[in-house]
Amino acid sequence: MRELVLNCLQSEAEALSDALLEAGVLSVCVEDADTDTEAERPLFGEPGLEPEVQAWQRNRIVALLPDGADPAQILAQATVESGVAPDPAWSLREVPDADWVRLTQSQFGPIQVGRRIWIVPSWHRDDPQIPAPAETREEGAVRLELDPGLAFGTGSHPTTHLCLEWLAEHVAGGETLLDYGCGSGILAIAARMLGTGRTWAVDIDEQAVQATRDNARANGVELQALLPDELPAGLSQLVVANILSSPLKLLAPMLSGRVEPGGHLVLSGVLERQAEEVAQAYAPWLELRVWRARDGWVCLHGQRH
C-alpha cells in the first residue's frame, strides 16, 4: 500500500482532510510539519481542553491510498472539493506490509491490579503464566477478560488502576453501583465480579455502551449498560466516575445526587493539581479527599452523610 503525503496551512487542514476521504482514501492523519524542530508546538494543553482549531500552523497530511488508486486524480478531486490550492511538493511513500492485528495485540499484555484483579486480553487466555479462572476464584481474586475496542478503558491507565484498587479493597458484596462514563465497562464488570449487586454502566457514547455489553457478556456478568437519558431514577450505594476534571465538575450535582445516604462516591481522571478544585465543586453535597495517588493522578473519595 502507499501513502500520499502533502503539506497545508492550519486553516486548510480540516477541509482538505474531509475532501481526501470523500475522494476515496482509506484514512487521513494530520501531523505537525515542524515535528522535531525548534518550531514544534504542542496542540493540546491541559487534559480535557481541546483547541478551537485541531491543526498546527503548518501541517503534514498523510492519506492512505487504496490499492490501484491514482494519487494525482485523488488529489485533484480533493483540491476542487475543498477549495485548497494543491501542494506541488506532494509525494508518495510505501507502507511496509505488517500483521497489524498481531502488532496491536502485542501492545496489550495481561495486567495485574493489586492482589485481586487480573485483566487478560483474549489472546493471552491460555497463557500458562496467568492464573486460571479457577485459581483466581480460590484466591478471592477475579480474572476479567477485556479486549481493546472502540471505547476507552484497557486497564493500563493509572486512573483505572486507582478505581479498580478502591473497588477491590472496599466492595463488601451486594452493593448497588453506578459507573458513570463507563467506556469499555471495565470498572462496572470488575465490580460485579467482586460482588456488587445491581449495577448500572452509563456512557454518552453508544459504541462505549455496546462495548460494555459485549465485554460483560464475554465475562458472564449481568449489568445494565445505558445511555444517560435511559438511566432510571434512583440512588446507588457506590458511584464511580473515571472521566476528566472538567466534566466531573459539571456533573457534581448529578453524581452527588445519585449517592444514597451512607454511600460512597469515587472519582478519578483528576490530576494531583486539580484535586482541590474538583473537591470544591462537590463540597455542597459531600467532602472529597484524595484516597490514593499514582503517577500524578489521584483517586478522590467521599461518603454522603
DSSP assignment of 67-114 equals TT--HHHHHHHHHHHH-PPP-TT-EEEEPPP--HHHHHHHT---EEET
Helix (H, G, I), strand (E, B) or coil at 256: helix
Please tell me the distance from the alpha carbon of residue 295 to that of residue 171, in angstroms, as a whole number: 24
According to DSSP, the β-strands at 142-145 and 91-94 are unpaired
- Is 203 annotated to bind a ligand? Reply is yes
Contact call for residues 223 and 192 (beta carbons, < 8 A)? yes
**Collapsing DSSP states into helix, strand and coil, what is residue 226?**
strand
d(C-alpha 84, C-alpha 78), whole Å: 8
State the amino acid at position 293 in one-letter form. A
- 181 labelled binding-site residue: yes
Q: Which residues are annotated as a binding site for S-adenosyl-L-methionine?
A: 160, 181, 203, 242
Could you list the residues known to form a binding site, using ranges.
160, 181, 203, 242
